[in-house]
Amino acid sequence: MITRPSGGAARVIPALDTGDLARAETLAAALAPHCGLLKVGLELFCAAGGPAVIAAARHRPVFLDVKLHDIPNTVAGALRSLLPLKPAMITLHAAGGPAMIAAARAEAEKAEADRPLLLAVTVLTSIDAATLAATGVVDAPAAQVLRLARMAVAAGADGLVCSPQEAAMLRAELGPDPVLVVPGVRPAGSAVGDQARTATPAETVAAGADWIVIGRPITAAPDPAAAAAAIAASLPG
């Protein structure tokens, strides 16, 4: 299994959010010197499937962000199908419940030394209190994040995906053991876009994040490699 990063570029996970495998391969090669992992998310995985993971893994370990969410048996089967790709980390929705997470963990354990870290997604970074209320959850995002986080870790998740705004709370409540991978990170001056709960890279790491996931501020920059290098340089060693 992958180990926690010690700082700097190792903490950065650029998101290869494109449906073009050739562009993803070009970005992976350019960004590899300035990051610890590369994210293959739904857009790229739906467009190119396993070859996208294989291509990215030639440059850095892969954070496979497919957010599995289904009945326990189906999620276990999905894990079984993904394990041959040897991703370093895989996401699944905490909202799938403890039985789903436990089934995923049991299946992942079969990979032994190649077992990926299982990361439970709490509340998406695009969701604010009003959006959460529209889904029937009356609590504030932070309360829902903590509820899902406690359940997911108890069920066997290695770590959590949360917004920058909940990282410090989760560290304080759950301690040092759960891995925290935090998207929704925006360098100062960057457009927020569809993200609702954000912070800068340095603020997010200071709050307790192990890795930070950054998409458009890197991949949409005129020079993605330079953008990634600048972000890495802004992080504490």
Question: 3-state DSSP helix/strand/coil percent for the chain, to nearest 5?
Answer: 50, 15, 35
Yes or no: say if 154 and 98 are a contact pair by the CB < 8 Å rule. yes
CA distance 209 to 202: 10
Packing angle between helix 98-108 and helix 141-155, nearest 10 degrees? 40
Distance (Å, whole) CA 30 – CA 141: 36
Our CA angle for 116, 232, 195, nearest 5°, is 75
Strands 117-121 and 89-93, sheet pairing? parallel
> Of 39, 67, 86, 110, which one is the catalytic site residue?
67
Active site residue 67: yes
Q: What single-letter amino acid sits at 102?
A: A
Instruction: List the catalytic residues.
Output: 67
